[in-house]
Structure 1
Amino acid sequence: MTRPGKDTSRRVKTGKGRTASQVRWLERQLNDPYVKQAKADGYRSRAAYKLIELDDKFTLLHGTRRIVDLGIAPGGWAQVVRKRAPKAAIVGIDLLETDPIDGVTILQMDFMDDNAPAVLKTALGGPPDLVLSDMAANTVGHKQTDHLRTMGLVEAAAYFATETLSDKGAFVAKVLAGGTDAELLGYLKRHFKTVKHAKPPASRKGSSEWYVVAQGFKGRE
């Protein structure tokens, strides 16, 4: 994929009830080449390019038959899957409402709900070849708390993956700066042949997000 080119910076005027942080966010959106490219390509979010870039590097989607998309809203990753693996069955889950996507089963419920794993398995109809997680906890402004909350979601996603994946399957999840903590990293290395961290170019330079990519699921012990 060719990376979107840079464009002339645009400024947002203050006023109209906007706070300084809202102005900064609007300016960033207006001047973000990935946002503009997403609109041109018909993707619901710039996050689509993160999966595209991860797939280009790790060949995640080739030959996949069943895929779980954890934290599917607004649907950019599922759109990429539909284009790159059109025959794959896709089931997504999110607490937020997500507009329908042709060929994708979308469940509106909390992944941390005790019933969520069973509902996902039933909807998919078989073991997934790939579990994707772009989930992140709502931030409260306290760095350590935000990190712990997000890593809790990553851990839950990892355990779900190792309980459901087909042999040689893969797991991809968003983590924060510093990568996966030692305990979880060890867990993934016991269950997968390779475990790597990556920061796709579409991730903003100032963002603390990285992705852990675990491939070659060894099967359940």
Structure 2
Amino acid sequence: MSKRNQWEDHYSRKAKKEKFPARSVYKLQEIQRRNNLIRKGDKVLDLGCFPGSWLLYAAEVTGKKGEVVGIDLKPVSVQVPAHVSVYTGDALSEEIQSVIGNNFNVVMSDMAPATTGIKHVDTARSFNLCEAALSIAQNVLRPGGSFVCKIFQGDGFKEFSDSVKAAFKKHKIFKPQSSRKASKEIYIIGIGKLRDET
């Protein structure tokens, strides 16, 4: 089996057929089917949006009256609808955060660190990205808004899960069927952002 098609499976073939740049779209679809986080007309922020599958799917769900904003360090080359804006840069930079504004209904993060293959290093990097994503979500989400974040299971998982639990009315842990069996990734979902105590 060549390196190129070693990762090809039912989901990657389906993504190609349905014109999505990556199979990750089916993870978001499963999350959406179960939790109905994104609604028509919503404003959605996609952190780590490359190569664009989550952007396209969110754009489909929000419809033309919605607004979808994506940020990634890598430029997204896929053609996006008019109600989608994509920024190339660091989602954690103040400059980008001042441009994207706030009042989002949903913040989603499929960000993953550049993996080393050293488990504790990879889980620590994943945890740091998740903490950053949650901090952005707390700044830009409307009260009542929702948050979805990918994390690698390992050190810091419970701590991050508890942070989400404390910031939202409901909190769920979900492993999509479309995640690869060997993958340590899992999604933490926060529904109904609580008002700040300040």
TM-score of the aligned structures, taking structure 1 as reference length:
0.82
Output the CA distance in 2 between the equivalents of 1:179 and 1:37. 34
What pairs with 1:1-221 in structure 2 (closer than 5 Å)?
11-12=1-2, 23=3, 26-29=5-8, 32-63=9-40, 65-86=42-63, 87-99=65-77, 100-102=79-81, 103-121=83-101, 126-178=102-154, 181-221=157-197
Output the CA distance in 1 between the equivalents of 2:41 and 2:131. 23
Structure 2 stretches of 5 or more lacking a match? none
Percent identity, please. 31
Distance 1:208 1:139, change over 3 A: same
Contact residue 172 and residue 211 of structure 1 kept, 8 A: yes
TM-score of the aligned structures, taking structure 2 as reference length:
0.91
Query: Aligned letter for 2:70?
Result: G
Distance 1:188 1:64, change over 3 A: farther
Give, in angstroms, the shift of residue 215 of structure 1. Answer: 0.3
* Larger proportion of strand: 2
Larger Rg: 1
Give, in angstroms, the shift of residue 156 of structure 1. Answer: 0.6
Output the CA distance in 2 between the equivalents of 1:179 and 1:53. 26
Contact residue 174 and residue 212 of structure 1 kept, 8 A: yes
Contact residue 43 and residue 79 of structure 1 kept, 8 A: yes
Contact residue 64 and residue 130 of structure 1 kept, 8 A: no
Residues 166-213 of structure 1: CA deviation (Å, up to 9, x unaligned)? 121000000112496333323222210111110111101111110001
Query: Aligned letter for 1:90?
Result: V
Output the CA distance in 1 between the equivalents of 2:154 and 2:84. 33
Distance 1:57 1:217, change over 3 A: same
Structure 1 stretches of 5 or more lacking a match? 1-10, 13-22
Match of 1:73, SS state, is coil
